[in-house]
Amino acid sequence: MSYLYVLAAVLLRLLPHPWNATPLAAMFLFSGATFRGRRESLLVPLAALLISDYAAGQLLWHGRYPWFSASKCIAFLLIALIGWTLRNRMSFAKIAGASLAGSVIFFLITNFAVWLAGSLYPRTAAGLVACYLAGLPFFQNTLLGDLAYAGVMFGSYHCIAQRRWTPARQAAN
């Protein structure tokens, strides 16, 4: 069932959306928390990310922008690792906290990579600060999108799991 969430996240990502408000971070967090195998919880969403990056680059942007970003992949894989901490310990507060942590990690890593590239901001402390400040409007959308999509993914997963579990538990009594 978790694979369907990955597929849905990829499809939703290709639909029009506000900048940085995508289900990708929630997909990695969810995969880390729910996939049975740890390796699978990293590789399946990573493959989905790479395929959807390529598709978005070709279909939506007509090849004008590079589709691969190592910093983005690293940030998302770290978010999946955060998802590992949620295994067998999911609660609203823990999922919200993990989603918030993932948003911050993504913001810090990807903006640092933009600064490090040196083409938009000087490689100085002031340039790094300017880069992070310029990224703040995008961070707002990242944060809102991550929290909303994580809420939908984990909430619906919990509801579905409860439905499947409740009849089996009642039959045993």
pLDDT of residue 173: 44
Q: How much is the mean pLDDT over the chain? A: 89
pTM above 0.95, yes or no: no
Task: Check which CATH number belongs to the domain holding 59 and give it.
Answer: 1.10.1760
Number of domains in the chain: 1
The boundaries of the domain holding residue 51 are 2-172
Burial class (CB in 10 A: 0-12, 13-18, 19+), 91: exposed
Q: Is 90 exceeded by the pLDDT of residue 17?
A: no
Q: Binning pLDDT at 50, 70 and 90, where does residue 58 land?
A: confident
Residue that is written with structure tokens 């929630």 in the block: 26
Angle between helices 70-84 and 24-34 (to 10 degrees): 40
**pLDDT top residue among 88 and 1:** 88
Distance of CA 119 to the CA centre of its chain: 26
Short-list 138, 133, 143, 141, CA closest to 100:
143
Q: Is 70 exceeded by the pLDDT of residue 168?
A: no
CA distance 54 to 17: 17
